[in-house]
Structure 1
Amino acid sequence: MRTTRMIIAGLAVCGAVTAMAQERTRLPAECRQEIVRLCGTDRSEMRSCMIEKRENLSAPCRQSLRDRVQASRGDAQGEARQSLRRGAQEIAYGSDPLQKLDFHPVSTDRPSPLVLFVHGGGWKRGDKRNATGGFKAPHYNGQGYHFASINYRLVPEATVEQQAADVAAALAKLLAEADRLKIDRRRVVLMGHSAGAHLVALVGTDPQYLRGAGLSYRDVKGVIPLDGAAYDVPAQMDENARLMGDTYKQAFGTDPARQKALSPTHHAAAPNAPAFLILHVQRRDGTAQSKGLGEALRKGDTDATVQGFEGRGLQGHAEINRRLGDPDYPATPVVDAWLKKAFDE
């Protein structure tokens, strides 16, 4: 029973699967045994192992997993419909079907700050609605800020360079409509989780992406990366190769020069976005990468705060995204205070 609970917890998709959905799609015992043989029972590594090695499972077990994911997507789609009913506007910022964003406006008669969120998903998956966490939009609206969550083109059809360009293009679209949307274009913060943390950090340190969208660092007050682990890509290629090596190779290739060019830490000498709040949980690679980025930014005279929170492995990695905005989650008041300072300056 203990092993079964660990498997179920490890396979939960970032909290999107409710208890009812779990019961409807309980994995067969034979499939659970296959997973244990393939990935062991360490819940902190289970999800990454399954992402990388699920093709080694039998066809019936893979089908059971697909049924489970479909159930979770159904719940996420329900949340997405609720989100739109709460007043979110979907806005296209390019011609590709994935170049869209959801804009959650705060009720205001005057221009208000904007928090722009970029989802994670290993650069190859994720969605602006089901990978955002349910607390962020209502919480930041409650703080008096507009909130937007973007989709972007995904690997392998797109490159990481194009993804960073999409982040900049989404921001440019919102700022081009700032008058209509009542956005204060002088007060914008970029936030992202996991792969999204890497992308916002890259846009915040390599000016070519904003410049390509007709913007500059004058258009960004700060950047909040949430538990990223790819700020120094060449170092991460070696650090986490066993579990996530295929994902990193797919995203960043094998050319060290390209890996370095896509590393925010290697761009941390000025110019940068004015300020960074770099948050992490207790993952060895995420902690080291976060501290490394913060140190490099400070050497470049950029204001950078690095702060860690409780949470182990991939469960903690998911929690910081899922619960940010929950008043009872310790990172929420830290981000609130930082945003207030950034927007008031």
Structure 2
Amino acid sequence: MRAIGWVMAGLFLAGPPVLARQQMEPPAPSAPASKRDLAYGALPAQTLDYFPPTVRVGAPPPLIVFVHGGGWQHGSKDNATGSAKIQHFTGKGYAFATINYRLVPGATVEQQAQDVATALAWLVARAKELGFDPDRMVLMGHSAGAHLAALVGTDPRYMHGQDLMLDQLRGVVLLDGAAYDVPAQMAEAGRFMRPIYTRAFGSDPARQRALSPIAHTAGPNVLSFLILHVERDDGTRQSEALAAALRAEGSKVEVRGLEGRGLRGHVAMNRQLGEADYPGTAIVDRWLSATFAPR
């Protein structure tokens, strides 16, 4: 089950007093509509959905950009984002975007990370049109999407390739990822998972190391990380190791372990984040509030 979890990753009122009041008060504006299947690149997979906040804010809102999981080979913004996130975070006054990216084997992991950075650059260029604050963005990912978010948040070549700097991200939220140290992950992989990692990362140790976020923590790095994991030995080890390496270089890192094992815990973190009774929701809310606070 632990291995499988990685892959799958209105009221009518009448009467003159009410009518008079309605004539005096302008109607409340409706919430802005979401924008779906926006192309951030020329390729079919390079699309994203954008959801503006559903509550009034006094200034352009911060933006959360979500990267789905699926073992680098599966998943999409349509089936792997988790609907609770969108409703919850837009209800807190944040804008929310969820992106597609090219999948293995039709693309490499390097190209996937570049897609993430390309989507960020496309959003920044259209921040005024979309109505969010480009100086307050957070990148969030689950499972393989957590690996990609961590890679983009530590290896500057992806952001720099889009004329972006790492400090344009206020922070990174990693949801039950692993492969932060690819060689170590592959060495521990069982018979079921090893071919999946091999298809993603190949057999060249140098490439595996280059695709390991932990290999790039010497800096520059995004300055704030929230790393969540469930009760998996490999995910716990890799989360703690990445956190230690980032802290050593000056990043502020919070690591929190949540209940849940195998497929149930791994999937629950993604599907339930945003639900009021899911413990991770309050943790992420507090972290986002602090991270998006005026500097």
**TM-score by structure 1 length?**
0.75
Match of 1:106 in 2: 53
Distance 2:276 2:39 in 1: 32
Distance 2:224 2:146 in 1: 14
1:48 touches 1:243 (CA, 8 Å); kept in 2?
no
Structure 1 residues 47-85: Cα deviation after superposition (integer angstroms, max 9, x where no partner): 669x8xxxxxxxxxxxxxxxxxxxxxxxxxxxxxxxxx9
The one-letter code matched in structure 1 to 2:275 is: D
Q: Is 1:288 aligned to residue 240 of structure 2?
A: no
Q: 1:46 to 1:118 in 2, by over 3 A?
A: closer
3-state DSSP of counterpart to 1:260: helix
Task: Give the one of 237, 246, 252 matched to 1:303.
Answer: 252
The one-letter code matched in structure 2 to 1:228 is: G
Structure 1 residues 169-223: Cα deviation after superposition (integer angstroms, max 9, x where no partner): 0011111001111110110000000000000000000000000011001210000
2:34 touches 2:49 (CA, 8 Å); kept in 1?
no
What are the residue-to-residue correspondences of 1:8-157 with 2, within 5 Å? 43-45=1-3, 87-107=34-54, 108=56, 110-157=59-106
Structure 1: gaps of 5 or more residues: 1-42, 52-84
- What is the aligned-residue identity percentage? 56
Alignment length, in residue pairs? 269
Match of 1:258 in 2: 207
Distance 1:164 1:48 in 2: 18
Match of 2:126 in 1: 177
1:186 touches 1:218 (CA, 8 Å); kept in 2?
no
Task: Give the one of 154, 158, 167 matched to 1:218.
Answer: 167
Distance 2:120 2:46 in 1: 12
Match of 2:145 in 1: 196
Structure 1 residues 289-336: Cα deviation after superposition (integer angstroms, max 9, x where no partner): 111110110111111111100000121011100100111000000000
Distance 1:166 1:44 in 2: 28
Q: Please tell me the root mean square deviation across aligned C-alpha atoms, in Å.
A: 1.7
The one-letter code matched in structure 1 to 2:209 is: K
Structure 1 residues 205-252: Cα deviation after superposition (integer angstroms, max 9, x where no partner): 000000001100121000001101110000000111322111100010
Distance 1:187 1:46 in 2: 35
User: CA offset at residue 46 of structure 1?
Assistant: 5.4
2:5 touches 2:264 (CA, 8 Å); kept in 1?
no
Q: Which has the higher contact order (CA 8 A, sep 6+)?
A: 2
2:150 touches 2:174 (CA, 8 Å); kept in 1?
yes
1:240 touches 1:285 (CA, 8 Å); kept in 2?
no
Distance 2:260 2:168 in 1: 33
Distance 1:235 1:176 in 2: 38
Task: Give the one of 277, 282, 287 matched to 1:328.
Answer: 277
Task: Give the one of 92, 102, 108 matched to 1:159.
Answer: 108
Distance 1:218 1:205 in 2: 11
Match of 1:270 in 2: 219
Distance 2:175 2:181 in 1: 15
Distance 1:45 1:271 in 2: 33
Match of 1:248 in 2: 197
3-state DSSP of counterpart to 1:241: coil
Greater than 4 Å deviation, 4+ residue runs: 43-49
**TM-score by structure 2 length?**
0.88
3-state DSSP of counterpart to 2:135: strand
